[in-house]
Structure 1
Amino acid sequence: MKLTKLSALGAAVLLFMGTACAQKKYDVIIGTYTNTGKSEGIYVYSFNEETGALTYKNKVGNVDNPSYLTVSPDRKFIYAISESGENSSVSAFNYDVATGAMSFINKQPSGGRGPCYVEIDHTGKFVFTANYGSGSLAAVPVLEDGSLGPDLQQIDHTGASMVKPSQKSPRMHSVVMDPENKFLIASNLGTDKIGIYHFDATKKSHPLTPADPEFVSLAPGSGPRHFDFHPNGKFAYSVHELDANITAFTYDNGKLTPVQTITMLPDNFEGKTGAADIHVSPDGKFVYASNRLDLNEIVIYSVDQSTGKLTFVGRQSSMGNHPRNFAIDPTGNFLLVANQNTDDIYVFKRNKETGLLSLTDNKLELGRPVCLKFVAVN
């Protein structure tokens, strides 16, 4: 009898150990602005998936304004844009997932002025940039060693809209690959259009061609900025910087169909606003979006699982100024907010049932944080 109990206990211990060993661990890679002297470049922090605590792991310096990042599917490389006016570029770095160490490989022109977003396709063969200053996007080939090739495809845009000076010219603000790796979705804040490009991963260069239809038009003066897909691949969401609205779409093989536009603003609000980022929770039940200027908050919506439409749930202060970017950890337990102008990152606990956020004791002080990316380390 004792042997049976001990055997059962041993089996339970082994099961627990196996579960613990199988539990995913994550790092957070942070892009920053370096032009104020408060930051040196790109930082890596380990993330405690049980408490939300962040612990310094590594960094790479001598990078000019690496304000947005993307990680290769095999986690061996990091790609970062550098906002440097006419000399703007996109850089490739080796990345050691165990230590968080990074080393520079090479860089190529970003395909325009003032890049503010970078994306990589699901095969890791191309990196895409959104160039706010010139309103262009580019597809940059990734070579076998992770370096960036010179034969980039640059797509320029024309047009303007009603809000000046923000919409005096094209303002490309994000480029997002669809879940099936077939189409690139390009949000142009300056023209109130979301472009759609067919992507051919078999090509060695120039992989993008306009889809049919080539774009979706949003309300004049809306300013589409960031974009995210629902985990089911059937819904998608665009946050508008200028009118602080969110448009919900159904999505089918490169076709976006608007089904709802909903405000991010409180009733009777008359201050300044600048909507910034948007993310769907890993379980697909909630959408979160950030607002800056006079609001500085995260707005929370529930998702109708049959239609994709949103219902307002609540709003949470970002605890700082200018929450340009935020991220939900892959477990869905925490949401991290990067406040650009107060040089801090706050960690919120996420209620998976209600979608609401509660402040934890975890805060990271870091100069000008503007991009947060989770990467699995095991």
Structure 2
Amino acid sequence: MKKILLIVLLAAPMFVSAQKKGAKTGPKVFDLVIGTYTGADEKASKGIYVYRFYAERGQSAYLNEVETSNPSFLTVTGDGKFVYCVNENNPDGTGGVSAFKFDKQTGKLDLINQQKTKGSPAHISVDKDQKNVFVSNYGGGNLQVFPINKDGSLGQANQTIQDVGRGTNPDRQSEPHVHSAFLSPDEKYLVVSDLGLDKINFYRYKSSKVPSLTPADPAFVSTAPGSGPRHTTFSNDGKFMYNVQEMKATITVYAYNNGKATEIQVINMMPPSFIGTNGAADIHITPDGRYLYASNRGTANEIACFAIDQVTGKLVYRGGYSTIGETPRNFAIDPTGNFLLVGTSKKIFVFSIDKATGRLMQNREAIDVASAVCLKLVPVE
């Protein structure tokens, strides 16, 4: 049983916005659902963990956990009733995907069923209609669509799209490596990053059809050779798309319109003076749309902050914030905009966000979950 952990803020009142009496506010209590890498070590994580997170006070409390192999990435349905995770490696070298029933009040997860994937998966996402989940197989270099049944279980994949080719880096790009699939804000398109081919593929999406994905026109955009596109996010108004590239730790900004992306900027996550190894991972925008953050592993081990020009969508570097030598992967910004939580190799660190400047301040306490790879916040209220 995990101990209940209280996250003590260094200067919490400074960053919590006062609400007017009678004003409508969003949820402030969330379930933090955590995907991890698992292992035989007694100190290693065992599966998916659930903590209650209080976004006004920045406090957290352990709720529940369920054992499952390498749930390195997960997604939660819009109604909060189901959690789907990838199982990155099976004994036979392939991977799988698991469906769980989720109780938001207790944090309990009950396994419904599992399906095998055609490769080792690295990412999973779900549509708002709760018709399909999209699984990106890094090992195997393909994208798969799994239909969701009425009871929340997953059917066998009804569409597999195989990428073909290689990139310019012989060590990392000798074959396709599909790393993520994100729906556009209107869910008319699916945006798929292939790290191995330096490509971002676009597919038209119709949830009621089988197959549900067809190539868009144009079908893809290319990133710089050897850059390795990984994750994507969109501006709050949907007019701009941002893709983080793992191998060069760059972010490409695109003007976006109805499935078409036009490159307008490429910006480095690290200052020119940086000497070391990059390993960019994740990218998110604050609820107010003013700041973008991206994580960088390697020898950098920090969260980079960028201000977003509200007219052009371009980014301006505002600085980096250390994760104390630990490897930062996926992270989440709570919907109130008060906190940024980042999963690392040993713990989940919690940063307070200064909404005026984008500055991050690390809290004294952290959430004691090792090898945290994916964080999702689910409203409880």
TM-score, normalised on structure 1?
Answer: 0.92
Q: Which residue of 2 aligns with 1:87?
A: 94
8 Å Cα contact 1:293/1:321 also seen in 2? no
Q: Distance in 1 between matches of 2:216 and 2:246?
A: 25
Which residue among 352, 355, 361 is the counterpart of 2:355? 352
For the structure 1 residues 36 and 162, does the alpha-carbon distance in structure 2 shift closer, same or farther, using more than 3 Å as the test?
farther
Q: Distance in 2 between matches of 1:197 and 1:23?
A: 33
Q: Which residue of 1 aligns with 2:36?
A: 32
| Amino acid in the other structure paired with 1:237 | Y
| Amino acid in the other structure paired with 2:31 | D
Q: Distance in 1 between matches of 2:257 and 2:285?
A: 18
The answer to whether structure 1 residue 270 and structure 2 residue 246 are counterparts is: no
Q: Percent identity?
A: 47
Q: Deviations over 1:320-353 (max 9, x none)?
A: 421011110111100011112xx11110000111
Matches within 5 A, 1:46-125: 46-61=52-67, 63-84=68-89, 86-110=93-117, 112-125=118-131
Classify the secondary structure of the residue corresponding to 2:139. coil
For the structure 1 residues 316 and 108, does the alpha-carbon distance in structure 2 shift closer, same or farther, using more than 3 Å as the test?
same
Kindly name which structure, 1 or 2, has the bigger radius of gyration based on alpha carbons.
1
Q: Deviations over 1:78-112 (max 9, x none)?
A: 000001153311110000111111100001122x2
8 Å Cα contact 1:320/1:339 also seen in 2? no
8 Å Cα contact 2:340/2:350 also seen in 1? yes
For the structure 1 residues 16 and 185, does the alpha-carbon distance in structure 2 shift closer, same or farther, using more than 3 Å as the test?
closer
8 Å Cα contact 2:39/2:46 also seen in 1? no
Which residue among 142, 152, 155 is the counterpart of 1:146? 152
Q: Distance in 2 between matches of 1:152 and 1:166?
A: 29
Q: Distance in 1 between matches of 2:62 and 2:20?
A: 28
For the structure 1 residues 178 and 36, does the alpha-carbon distance in structure 2 shift closer, same or farther, using more than 3 Å as the test?
farther
| Amino acid in the other structure paired with 1:173 | H
For the aligned residue pairs, the C-alpha RMSD in angstroms reads 1.7
Q: Distance in 1 between matches of 2:213 and 2:309?
A: 33
Matches within 5 A, 1:1-378: 23-37=27-41, 38-61=44-67, 63-84=68-89, 86-110=93-117, 112-203=118-209, 205-340=210-345, 343-378=346-381
Classify the secondary structure of the residue corresponding to 2:174. coil
| Amino acid in the other structure paired with 2:287 | P
Q: Deviations over 1:185-231 (max 9, x none)?
A: 0000000000001101122x321111001000111111001111111
| Amino acid in the other structure paired with 1:109 | K
Deviation, structure 1 residue 16: 9.3
Gaps of 5+ in 1: 1-14
Q: Distance in 2 between matches of 1:78 and 1:120?
A: 10
Q: Deviations over 1:97-147 (max 9, x none)?
A: 11111100001122x221010000111110001110111011110011100
8 Å Cα contact 2:165/2:175 also seen in 1? yes
8 Å Cα contact 1:53/1:362 also seen in 2? no
Q: Deviations over 1:219-255 (max 9, x none)?
A: 1111001111111111110001111110011111111
Q: Deviations over 1:261-297 (max 9, x none)?
A: 0001222322111111111111111110011111100
8 Å Cα contact 1:221/1:243 also seen in 2? yes
For the structure 1 residues 254 and 162, does the alpha-carbon distance in structure 2 shift closer, same or farther, using more than 3 Å as the test?
same
Deviation, structure 1 residue 68: 0.3
Deviation, structure 1 residue 17: 9.6
Classify the secondary structure of the residue corresponding to 1:232. coil
For the structure 1 residues 84 and 247, does the alpha-carbon distance in structure 2 shift closer, same or farther, using more than 3 Å as the test?
same
Q: Distance in 2 between matches of 1:250 and 1:286?
A: 17
More helix, by proportion: 1
For the structure 1 residues 18 and 41, does the alpha-carbon distance in structure 2 shift closer, same or farther, using more than 3 Å as the test?
farther
After TM superposition, the runs of 4+ consecutive aligned structure 1 residues lying more than 3 A away are 15-24
Classify the secondary structure of the residue corresponding to 2:64. strand
Q: Distance in 1 between matches of 2:379 and 2:143?
A: 29
| Amino acid in the other structure paired with 2:370 | G
| Amino acid in the other structure paired with 1:106 | N
Classify the secondary structure of the residue corresponding to 2:100. strand
| Amino acid in the other structure paired with 1:140 | F
Deviation, structure 1 residue 18: 7.4
8 Å Cα contact 2:27/2:380 also seen in 1? no
Aligned residue pairs: how many? 359
Q: Which residue of 2 aligns with 1:8?
A: none
Classify the secondary structure of the residue corresponding to 1:132. strand
8 Å Cα contact 1:27/1:46 also seen in 2? yes
Q: Distance in 1 between matches of 2:211 and 2:273?
A: 48
Classify the secondary structure of the residue corresponding to 1:50. coil
Q: Distance in 1 between matches of 2:307 and 2:287?
A: 13
Gaps of 5+ in 2: 1-18
Q: Which residue of 2 aligns with 1:5?
A: none
